[in-house]
Structure 1
Amino acid sequence: MNLPDHKTKIVCTIGPASSSEEMLRELIFAGMNVARINFSHGSFEDHSKVIRLIKKLCDELNVVVSVMADLPGPKIRVGEIKDSPINLQKGDKVKLTTERIVGSKDLIPVDFDKLPYCIAKKSNVYFNDGFIQMRCSGICSNEAECEVIVGGQLSSHKGVNLPGIDLLLDPVTEKDLEILDFALEEGVNCFSVSFIEQGSDIQKIRDHAAKKGRSVFLVAKIERGPSVENIDDIMDATDALMIARGDLGVEIPIEEVPIVQKELIHKANLRGIPVITATHMLESMTDNVRPTRAEATDVANAILDGTDAIMLSGETAVGKYPLEAVHTMVRIAKKTEAWRDSTGSGMGNIRDAIGETEMGISDVISLQVYDAIRKLSIEFVVTPTYSGATPRRISRFKPENWIIAMSHLDLTCEQLAYSYGVYPLSVYDGSDDLEKKVLGALLSRGIGKSGDTIVLTQGYSGGTNLLKIIEIEHLVE
């Protein structure tokens, strides 16, 4: 087998444009590492079919693709609008109502019963990731009277943001827990958690899964001001981050988003947890076969910042060109990674920053691996792993070499689908001779050849504490 020609992981949101078996197969071949199931839309029956199709294809193709169930959280949305989409123009007078009605251009339903208690006169209300803006001019019973400040097309079920307002909502809803239970029954191990504000929000999901006897991999979606302020507390509790720039760009000043993105990626790299950069990455490819130059630059800069993964949302869920969008991301990733490797514009700053922190044995081993592959002719790094911690620690340096992570645990293999440059292999833990097991697993998949030099990490007593540099021909003997 040939390893992929890019190391940045690709997250694809699955929807009507990408849920067929044929398209899912093509997306896997194109480079999809994570299939995101957005539970804000669709039925459990539809999601069950998609999850089972992905698992079937993974078994058939002998690959690891993680299914990430996206828990919607307390997302406020527009209700049903007649003749959707409607066109709102600057100066239009609109009423927002909490009544469960079919709306119109003049009366728009919002599925948030506490709206009259949270909004105030002169408050700004944003729709569709901030592309439409209204200003409240008064409250009357269960309605808010507003004036359109920035117009545009508004469709049913689009998101609503009330930045700077305490929404009096629990970030983890009963619906989230219902979705969690369903997804666990379907064998899903990985979940992204929306609108969290502190580490305890993540812990609530983890505790609920534990009561069901399951360990889970949790991705904290950073999309509110308080989540940025409490990022260290959140990172203590989470397994990964997603920088969800759509809502984040409304909740905080838009000019702060690029800096926040860089700071969060750097913090995640330091901790050795994967980070996904999401929202509007190739947005124009929802309707066009090519992205804008700015979008291509955005994807490349996220990779240069040190992101582990880049995500497609509407592009693959409902877009006209889902496969082309993945191919475009892969080409940008391949070119950007090659430039970074050839120019030495790598992650040396991460190495220096880690060197200034208090390190454990596994941190020291990861530094030694990084130094070895920079100074020696190494084909790849092999890391047998139970928890996935060692390959993640090595991954944060964004090395030029592939990290082959071997584990007999499905959860470990799936979570490593989020880490840059880590190729997870599901390997039966049946041999006492580690080097023999490693060689057998590699050669059975056509990875490596006689004469190749590899770095092999090993661990005893529950942690990685040994590094070996081995020539494959010596293993053959």
Structure 2
Amino acid sequence: MNKTKIVCTIGPSSSSPQVLADMIRSGMNVARVNFSHGTSDEHRKMIRSIRAVATRLGRTVAILVDLPGPKIRIGRLRLEPTILKRGETITLTTDPASSNLTAIPVDYPDLPSLVTEGTTIYLNDGFLQVKVVRTSEQEVDAKVVIGGPLLSHKGLNLPGVALSIAAVTPEDLAHVDIGLDEGVDTFTISFLERPEDIRILREYAQKRGIKIHIVAKIERAGAVREIDAILAEADAIMIARGDLGVQIPIEDVPGVQKQCILKANRLGVPVITATQMLESMTENILPTRAEVTDVANAILDGSDAVMLSAETATGRYPVETVRMMAKIARSIEAQRTMLKGRSQLEEVLLLTGINRRELTVDDVVSLNVIQAMHALSPRYILTPTRSGRAPRRISRFKPDCWILSFCRDQKVAEFLAFSYGVVPFFVKTDEASWHDRIFDLISDAGLAKTGDLVILTEGSEPDLAGATNSLRIIKFP
């Protein structure tokens, strides 16, 4: 099917076992559970349901717990939606017991102290804008500059205003405990601006004796400035363009997207492009032409995965949206070589004068795999792995053929669901050499026939993670 992985946000529209099954069959690789909404019991039930459906279908589906972080949100509105009319004055209140029935509740007590007359407040990813007129101890009066419908729990942004809250909140840590209890080991950090936030979350899980994967959401100007340090700490990144397009000038978002993707590709760090990719399919059976082009360009930029948010969480056509995303991916993947020629990353590593002393053994092996693929057009690239590092290093070049990755750890296999073109297999074996077991699996699945050419990566110390240092070219027996 599609080599580009598809991340789907699970919500009321997609929570039933039947819809989940249809989405998995249509191309969903990662199920995102957004802990900004719902109760702890609902989250636990959802995680168990996703896992049960994936197991029944025999598919590897990763579960991504998206931690809310320090996002300022609108509270529960009395009228849903509340229509903000241009020119009118509204009141934002941080008082949960406010007697003002028309006031809009906000879940951040410090809001009145952070804004002054003339401050622009952005609501719902910047689609709504209000300008502060006056403040009091618990209220902010503001004039509507750009109006429209406002729903409960939508975000509130204050670009350029330093918030007095950490990226990893106590509530986030409580959410992590829920995820860990349910066997989930992949979490996002929202609104981080420094690599230390990643270490805080990783060390918290380590105290419970659990190794986790952390996806850093790039959605603040500070994260863009610190992207190199964040990439050195994170296991993956997500370019969350909704809040990012409020935090930085919206016209700068495409360039930032391309720069972050290239940096992540170079390091072999999976990168997810997110937000409003097929937004119109929340209500319509077909996307706009501009949305299709956006998805295609994100894939050509080098995204490992593309994400659906409201489209699958609350939209009318969750299954159809996944199918459309998969169709776009398959179409543009087939044209990648024609449209781009040699991989942009290959050019960076091989042709543009990069300091050769920066190349590692992993770089050399993965580059040689790609060069052999160009020359020989093998059926598959086979990568036995303990850590997942070898397939990720090859995946970053976005090769034409599939990477079949064989893992002894179920969690390693699940995290490879984020990497472009990688099909992970969980293999229960203690054998020093995996060759016979791998070939048996491929044969039993009907994936290859005698005489097919394959590239096999190997390590001189098979029991050591990260030891891949050679490749073999083999005819399938």
Matches of 2:473 and 2:448 in 1, distance apart?
14
Return the alpha-carbon distance in structure 1 between the equivalents of residues 45 and 102 of structure 2: 39
Matched, 1:359 2:359: yes
Q: What corresponds to 2:446 in structure 1?
A: 446
Residues 36-95 of structure 1 show CA distances to partners (whole Å, capped at 9, x for unaligned) of 000000112112122112212222222110000000101111112112111111111111
Decide which of 446, 466, 469 is 1:465's aligned counterpart: 469
Are 1:348 and 2:348 counterparts? no
Residue 280 of structure 1 aligns to a residue whose secondary structure is coil
Question: Alpha-carbon deviation of 1:434?
Answer: 2.5
Query: Which digits, 9 at most, give the CA deviation of each residue in 1:203-230, with x for residues without a partner?
Result: 1111101111111111000011100011
Give yes or no for contact 1:391–1:403 (8 Å, CA) kept in 2: yes
1:80–1:101 Cα contact (<8 Å) kept: no
Aligned partner of residue 209 in structure 2, secondary structure: coil
Match of 2:122 among 122, 126, 141: 126
Which of 12, 19, 25 does residue 16 from structure 1 map onto?
12
**Residue number in structure 2 paired with 1:295:** 291
Structure 2 residue corresponding to 1:173, chosen from 169, 172, 175: 169
Shift of 1:330: 0.6
Residues 116-161 of structure 1 deviation map (CA, whole Å, 9 limit, x = unaligned): 2211221110101100000112222211121111001011111110
The answer to whether the 8 A contact 1:121-1:137 is kept is yes
Aligned match of 1:35: 31
Write out per-residue CA displacement over residues 373-400 of structure 1, whole angstroms, 9 at most, x where no aligned residue. 0110300100000111111111111111
Give the aligned partner of residue 435 of structure 1.
435
How many residues of Structure 1 are paired with residues of Structure 2 in the alignment? 468
> What SS is found at the alignment partner of 1:219?
strand
Q: 134, 138, 151: which is aligned to 1:155?
A: 151
Shift of 1:354: 2.0
**Superposed counterparts of 1:165-244, under 5 Å:** 165-244=161-240
* Structure 2 gap segments, 5+ residues each: none
* Secondary structure in structure 2 of the residue aligned to 1:384: strand
State how far apart, in whole Å, the 2-side matches of 1:332 and 1:347 are: 21
Deviations 1:158-216 (A, max 9, x none): 11101100011111000000000011000001111111111011111111011111111
Match for 2:131 among 128, 135, 138?
Answer: 135
Which residue of structure 2 lines up, in the alignment, with residue 384 of structure 1?
384
Mapped partners of 2:186, 2:339: distance in 1: 34
Distance 1:36 1:50 in 2: 10
Amino acid in structure 2 at the alignment position of 1:15: G
Paired AA for residue 348 in structure 1: S
* Higher mean displacement: 75-84 or 176-185: 75-84
Q: Which runs of 5+ in 1 are unaligned?
A: none
Cα distance 1:68–1:174, how it changes in 2: closer, same or farther (>3 A)? same
Aligned counterparts of 2:177 and 2:122: Cα–Cα separation in 1: 32
- Contact in 1 for aligned 2:343/2:398 (Cα 8 Å): no
Given the two structures, how large is their TM-score scaled by the length of structure 1?
0.96
Contact 2:32–2:64 (CA<8 Å) still a contact in 1?
yes
Q: Structure 1's 346 and 394: CA in aligned 2 closer, same or farther, altered over 3 A?
A: farther
Cα RMSD after superposing both structures: 1.3
| TM score, norm. by length of structure 2 | 0.96
* In 1, Cα distance between equivalents of 2:453 and 2:7: 32
Which AA in structure 2 matches 1:387?
Answer: S
1:224-263: CA deviation from partner (whole Å, max 9, x where unpaired): 1100011111111100010000000011110000110011
